[in-house]
Each structure stands twice: as structure tokens, then as C-alpha cells.
């Protein structure tokens, strides 16, 4: 028996994987994008042949071509697009958002110019008193889509919205849902981990080994904590699955586009070549500038983030930069 209606905006690997997982949990899911050509392909093939090939959509996953119908038929809208597209999507949906609309953000990124988290951007742009939640956690799209066990964190100030999302997302066998009221912490953990994963990819690509990988992950996580606390995040949140959990996953699997991007940079690919080879948005590459600006604004010492930035944007040699970083890192724990 089908339970509830929910819509997902974003037909990339993550948005599609969420749609598949939620539909398998006996919900009616509507999937929409502003790319009509891609919607046509999804509708015909009943599969995302580009990013999740051979995973057939459940019957109760519908491709929606009308943004107006999407909001007429659904009160709960998940936005799962890269951060560089978020403001554009908000501008498109703004005329259709009603007072009883609930927005759930699955975007793991930050507004580049101002350092605003997606939750704040939604509030500022929509200018409506609607319920908003964020979802984040260690969720590789392909594993979520094929039905491997996955855990995610939902954060909101609205407990009723949290309860509803737990009902439609939670599945005791394959999809565990945890909740939090720490909206800042849940978002920040999903942002900085992408940058650290690029650095770990670079380190592994130049052959520094597993010992140093552990150092980069732990010291990089300490930098995340220092910035997060300054921004109002809770330590327990950053230590949870949406913080440390997501960092470990993204830094240690080659299924991670950010880690893979770092590996390619270490192998001598330039930025454009590496982006093209990955073939998807590299959130860490775009977000590192803003995290650097925030570290300067709040006087947070982030040498690992700084080193990765210099490799990506100052064309510094990956090996020499990483070795200099290791010599520079403070020895006091």
C-alpha cells in the first residue's frame, strides 16, 4: 500500500538515488528537473542511464514535467541539486511555494559569495514562513539506489517535519534515519568533508600512504570542528554520521567524486581535465574558496584546507605542498 506523496528536484545521481529509495519505501515520488531533455530520457528509459545505469525506477516513481503540477500535488519538496545551481532553482520555484509547502534540502554546499549555508539561502530568497529541513550523511548514491543499508540525518526546527520525514524515509532494513535540531552542524559537516576528501585523494595519488591519510582525515576534521563551533554547530553533531561519518566515507572510497578528483590532480591532470574526467560537479572544488574566507573572517587556523586551496587555485606542486604541510602541522594534540 502506497503511503505518501513527495517530490524531488534534481535528477543527478543523488536526487535520483533518493527518489528510487523513497519510492521503494512505498511512497509516491515525483522527480523533476529544469532540464526537459533529461526528463524525456528518464521517462523513456525509466532509468538514469548516465549516473545510475541498470537501476530501473519503481513504478511509483513518476517523472514530472510541470513545475506547477509538482507543487500542486506535493507539499513536501526535496531539493537535491549542487550548490552552484541552488539559487537558480529557488528563483524558479519561488512563485509556486505555498504557505503549507515544506522544503527539504539535500544540497551539500555553500553559497560561494557570502558563505551562507543552504538553509539560510532558502529562508532569505523565499521570504516565507515555511518549514525547512536539511538532510545529510554518508550516502553514496549508487549504494543507496541499489538498496544497500544507508543512514542519514534529518535536521530541522520543526519536529512535525522531522517526524514526517522519518516516516517516509525510514526503513528498518535498509534506510536508517537519525534526527537533529543542529541545522548548522549537519550542513557544515557535509560541506568541509568534500574539501578534505580532495586533499586525501591528492595524498594517496602522490603515494604518501595510509598513515598520512589518517593524519589528514583527523587533523582536517579538527579544522572542521573549530570552524563549526565558531559558526554555532554542536560538537556531538560533527562527531555524528553527518559529520565524521560522511568525512570517513568520502575520503576513503574512490566512488567519491571529490576524492577521485584529488587523485586525478595528483596524477598530473589539470583542473579542467580532472573535472571532465569526473563528469559531475565537484562540490569541494567550488566550496573551498568560501571556507577559506570564513576561516579568515573568524580567525580559524585551517592549514590543511589552505594547502588544498593552494594546489587547486594557486597551481602549487601537489607533492611539495603536501610535504610542506606535514612539516608545518602543529605537533601538540
**Separation CA 26–CA 169 (nearest Å):** 10
Q: Is 123 in a helix, a strand, or coil? A: helix
Question: Per the structure block, which three cell numbers stand in for 108?
Answer: 551539500
Residue numbers annotated as active site: 193
**On the CB side of 77, how many CA atoms lie within 13 Å of its CA?**
32
**Separation CA 109–CA 111 (nearest Å):** 7
Contact 243, 184 (CB under 8 A): no
> Radius of gyration (Cα) for the chain, nearest Å?
19
Q: Which residues contact 266 (CB under 8 A, 6 or more apart)?
A: 201, 202, 203, 204, 205, 206, 318
**Separation CA 257–CA 14 (nearest Å):** 12
Dihedral angle computed from the Cα positions of residues 313, 317, 318 and 324, in that order, rounded to the nearest 10 degrees: -110
**Separation CA 266–CA 256 (nearest Å):** 16
According to DSSP, the β-strands at 131-136 and 150-156 are antiparallel
Distance from the Cα of residue 102 to its chain's centroid: 19
Q: Which residues contact 90 (CB under 8 A, 6 or more apart)?
A: 121, 122, 125, 126
| Cell 528563483 -> residue | 91
Amino acid at each position: 500500500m502506497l503511503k505518501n506523496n513527495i517530490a524531488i528536484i534534481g535528477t543527478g545521481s543523488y536526487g535520483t538515488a533518493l527518489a528510487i529509495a523513497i519510492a521503494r519505501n512505498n511512497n509516491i515520488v515525483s522527480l523533476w528537473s529544469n532540464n526537459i531533455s533529461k526528463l524525456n530520457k528518464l521517462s523513456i528509459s525509466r532509468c538514469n542511464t548516465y549516473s545510475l545505469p541498470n537501476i530501473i525506477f519503481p513504478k511509483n516513481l513518476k517523472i514530472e514535467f510541470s513545475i506547477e503540477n509538482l507543487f500542486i500535488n506535493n507539499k513536501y519538496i526535496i531539493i537535491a541539486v549542487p550548490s552552484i545551481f541552488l539559487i537558480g532553482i529557488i528563483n524558479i520555484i519561488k512563485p509556486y511555494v505555498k504557505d503549507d509547502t515544506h522544503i527539504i534540502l539535500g544540497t551539500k554546499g555553500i553559497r560561494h559569495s557570502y558563505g551562507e549555508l543552504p538553509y539560510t539561502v532558502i529562508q532569505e530568497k523565499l521570504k516565507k514562513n515555511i518549514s525547512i529541513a536539511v538532510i545529510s550523511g554518508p550516502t553514496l548514491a549508487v549504494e543507496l539506489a541499489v538498496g544497500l543499508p544507508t543512514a542519514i540525518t534529518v535536521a530541522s526546527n520543526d519536529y512535525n517535519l522531522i517526524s514526517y520525514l522519518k516516516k517516509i524515509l525510514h526503513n528498518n532494513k535498509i534506510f536508517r534515519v537519525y534526527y537533529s535540531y543542529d541545522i548548522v552542524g549537519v550542513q557544515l559537516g557535509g560541506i568541509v568533508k568534500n574539501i578534505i576528501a580532495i586533499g586525501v585523494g591528492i595524498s594517496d595519488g602522490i603515494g604518501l600512504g595510509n598513515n598520512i591519510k589518517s593524519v589528514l582525515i583527523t587533523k582536517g576534521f579538527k579544522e572542521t570542528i573549530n570552524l563549526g563551533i565558531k559558526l554555532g554547530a554542536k560538537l556531538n553533531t560533527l562527531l555524528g554520521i553527518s559529520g565524521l561519518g560522511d568525512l570517513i566515507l568520502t575520503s576513503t572510497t574512490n566512488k567519491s567524486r571529490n576524492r577521485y578528483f584529488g587523485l586525478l590532480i595528483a596524477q598530473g591532470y589539470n583542473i579542467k581535465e580532472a573535472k571532465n574526467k569526473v563528469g559531475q560537479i565537484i562540490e569541494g572544488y567550488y566550496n573551498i574558496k568560501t571556507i577559506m574566507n570564513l576561516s579568515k573572517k573568524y580567525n580559524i587556523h585551517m592549514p590543511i584546507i589552505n594547502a588544498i586551496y593552494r594546489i587547486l587555485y594557486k597551481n602549487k606542486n601537489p607533492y611539495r605542498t603536501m610535504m610542506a604541510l606535514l612539516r608545518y602541522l602543529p605537533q601538540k594534540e
